[in-house]
Chains A and B, each alone.
Chain A
Amino acid sequence: MTAITAARAGFMACHACGLVHRADAHAHGIVCARCGAALHLRKPNSVTRTWALLIAAYVLIIPANILPVMVSGSLFGSESDTIMSGVVFLWRDGSAPLAIILFFASIAVPFSKLFALTYLLLSVKKGSTLAPRRRTQLYRILEFVGRWSMIDIYVASLLTALVQFGGLMSIQAGPGAIAFGAVVVITMFAAESFDPRLIWDPIEERHG
């Protein structure tokens, strides 16, 4: 297979509508002729931006897991739930399948997303030519699963809104929910700012 990339052939595609344009070497600030989106050969400052967001997410994921996401008060005192204890509660009293889903969405996905993005960034920095197809698939998976981490935020929101029975029983969203929501949003931005074409650029150079 003779593989030639658009960048090498002097073209670039619009990220919004896909129209292929001729790339001028020194052109800046040009926009797509069809849909008006800004054109770039590669996402600008992709690696730096992704690192910055990723580090922020690494910091925030600590309070997200330590601080309570929900505080429930009743006649018998109050009780705090972290993300993990919420999963355990659901496993014991509710339904096991939902507990497994919640475990994946709230704990497995955010952590593996951070590790996977770190791995991708390091491999790009090293100019790795190892298994580019696999790494691209990894990127596509983490782009797709990130949104599902929001489940816990919605659970806390609905419980807060519904369980308001005065002194008898009430539930409040806790500070952990703020940190956790921030982690989800920041990692979504991080995945979006990473440019998977950087995975393929070293392969191109080696063959050329």
Chain B
Amino acid sequence: MHALRLHACHDCDLLLREVALPPGGNARCPRCGAVLYRRRHNGLDRTLAYSMSAAVLFVIANAFPIVGLEAAGHASSTTLFGAVRTLWDEDMHSVAGLVFTTTILMPALEIAALLYLLLPLKLGRVPAGLAPVFRTVQAVRPWGMVEVFMLGTLVALTKLAALASVVPGVALWSFAVLMFLMAAAAASFDTQELWQWVEERR
């Protein structure tokens, strides 16, 4: 079954023979135009590097306040988790859950799962539970919304600038960098290369 080297388009089901791509190349479906697979130069090495940096920034982004506010002698600031807790305390449980899931839980799961897969493979071992962890990466990805959160923060700050003086926190910059790292990790994660690594190490 593994020798087939066939590929079915995920959007229109067209059956195609898999072709070898040069690094940096994309294979597109001739019928519907979907990107089928891509080849990246040292794809997985990059994913590993991005994921490790993302893990560090994720911790910083969650440990420090995103933004501080000063108005009429009062000051306030909040971390991301602090915002979730305020919502929870105000009985907005579903909104609190949604924010927590999309900005903390899912990104954390994605980073952790990528590291769990790639670190051992890089060191020459196949991690236990490879298959379910791989599926977790695929399932979790659409629900991590760090980049959307960044834009939301920008809008919130613009609204606040009219009311009070706004002090951007360390976490704000960390989130901005985290956004690019997570996008880069996702873009360089070459699943074909992953299975190649796995086969070589079995």
- The minimal Cβ–Cβ distance linking A205 to chain B, given in whole angstroms, is 13
A147 to chain B: which residues have CB within 8 Å? 142, 145, 148
Contact A159 B159 (CB under 8 A): yes
A-B CB contacts (within 8 Å), total count:
212
Contact A161 B31 (CB under 8 A): no
Contact A162 B155 (CB under 8 A): no
B37 to chain A: which residues have CB within 8 Å? 18
- The minimal Cβ–Cβ distance linking A126 to chain B, given in whole angstroms, is 18
- The minimal Cβ–Cβ distance linking B116 to chain A, given in whole angstroms, is 15
Q: How large is the interface on A (under 10, 10 to 19, 20 to 34, 35 or more residues)?
A: 35 or more
A148 to chain B: which residues have CB within 8 Å? 148, 151
Given A95-B158, A147-B145, A156-B95, are A169 and B134 neighbors across the interface (CB < 8 Å)?
Answer: no
A27 to chain B: which residues have CB within 8 Å? none
Contact B94 A178 (CB under 8 A): yes
Contact A153 B152 (CB under 8 A): yes
- The minimal Cβ–Cβ distance linking A77 to chain B, given in whole angstroms, is 16
A34 to chain B: which residues have CB within 8 Å? 2, 131, 195
Render A175-208 as a binary contact track against B, CB cut-off 8 A, 1 for contact: 0011001100100100010001101110000000
Within the complex, which residue of B7, B87, B132 is in contact with A161, where a contact is CB–CB below 8 Å? B87
Contact B83 A157 (CB under 8 A): yes
A139 to chain B: which residues have CB within 8 Å? 11
Please give the number of chain B residues whose Cβ is less than 8 angstroms from any Cβ of chain A in the complex: 66
**Bound-state Cα–Cα, A20 to B90, Å:** 50
A13 to chain B: which residues have CB within 8 Å? 7-8, 10, 13
Asked if A123 is at the interface of the complex by the 8 Å CB criterion, the answer is no
**Bound-state Cα–Cα, A1 to B7, Å:** 17
Render B153-197 as a binary contact track against A, CB cut-off 8 A, 1 for contact: 111101111110000000000000000000000000001100100
Nearest-CB residue, chain B, relative to A69: B95
Selected A-B contacts with CB under 8 Å, 19 pairs: A11-B6, A12-B8, A19-B195, A21-B1, A35-B134, A133-B32, A151-B155, A153-B95, A153-B98, A153-B99, A154-B148, A157-B87, A157-B95, A159-B160, A160-B83, A165-B72, A165-B76, A178-B94, A197-B12
